[in-house]
Amino acid sequence: MNCPKCKIATLQSVVAYSSEAPRKCDSCGGFWVPIEQIPKIIQQQEELETLLTPVEAPDGHDARAALCPNGHGVLSRARVEVEEGFFLDRCVHCGGIWFDQGEWQKIASAHLLSDIANFWTLPWQKKQREAVQEKAYLQWAKETFGAELLTQLSTVATALQGHPQRIAALTLVRNLSEK
């Protein structure tokens, strides 16, 4: 079974007692997990992390298309916006998931491991895009208005949510700001 990203390195079993165990690439540090093994790995996460020793992965590794190590063709990609965004790769046939080095840890630290099956669904991807847009919008607002004014505006916006006179209050703010 060859590495989906390196294509030539052989994947090594992480756990010796199972043929369906996660398999790691010693060359790039990524690892392949059969979908049915994910719940077991979540329960034994500390043990897994001790086995996933970092290696120097090639630059741009996440940009590469990957092939299923079981021979099922090109893996489907899902964008994950955790820390710096990255792509997670999954086989649509066998459900196995390829994690480039560090991706499992990022997903675990964001408490998203239990949602991993949803990463390839349209609603989850839509939520990811909306989160990226919201983050960019808030960054723009912070750069444009400054942190202090943005905090004050956020406080006013929170106070006005659901208020029956919200439009009148916004009109008052506009009128006061024009003086």
pLDDT in tens, 164-176: 999 999 999 999 9
Least confident segment among 18-32, 96-110, 146-160: 18-32
Averaged pLDDT for residues 67-72: 91
Residues 6+ away with beta carbon under 8 Å from 80: 86, 87, 88, 103, 106, 107, 112, 119, 128
Please give the residue that has the higher pLDDT: either 46 or 141.
Answer: 141
pLDDT band for position 65 (cuts 50, 70, 90): confident
Angle at 41 between CA 36 and CA 44, to 5 degrees: 150
Tell me what pLDDT residue 48 has.
65
Check: CB of residue 24 under 8 Å from CB of residue 11: yes
Look-up: residue for tokens 């106070």? Answer: 159
76-80 β-sheet, strand order: 12-13, 23-24, 31-33, 97-99, 86-90, 76-80
Highest mean pLDDT among 1-10, 19-28, 124-133: 124-133
Predicted confidence (pLDDT) at residue 177 exceeds the cutoff of 60: yes
Give the CA count within 13 Å in the CB-facing half-sphere of 29: 18
Predicted confidence (pLDDT) at residue 49 exceeds the cutoff of 60: yes
Q: How far is residue 147 CA from its own chain's centroid? A: 27
Look-up: residue for tokens 């942190």? Answer: 147
Look-up: residue for tokens 């093994």? Answer: 37
Going through the chain in order, the beta strands assigned E by DSSP cover: 12-13, 23-24, 31-33, 76-80, 86-90, 97-99
Check: CB of residue 33 under 8 Å from CB of residue 97: yes
CA-CA distance, 33 to 147, in Å (whole number)?
A: 43
CB atoms within 10 A of CB 147: 10
Q: Above pLDDT 70, what percent of the chain?
A: 87
Check: CB of residue 30 under 8 Å from CB of residue 10: no
CA-CA distance, 23 to 30, in Å (whole number)?
A: 9
pLDDT in tens, 107-158: 888 888 888 989 999 999 999 889 889 999 999 999 999 999 999 999 999 9
For residue 1, give the 3-state DSSP assignment.
coil
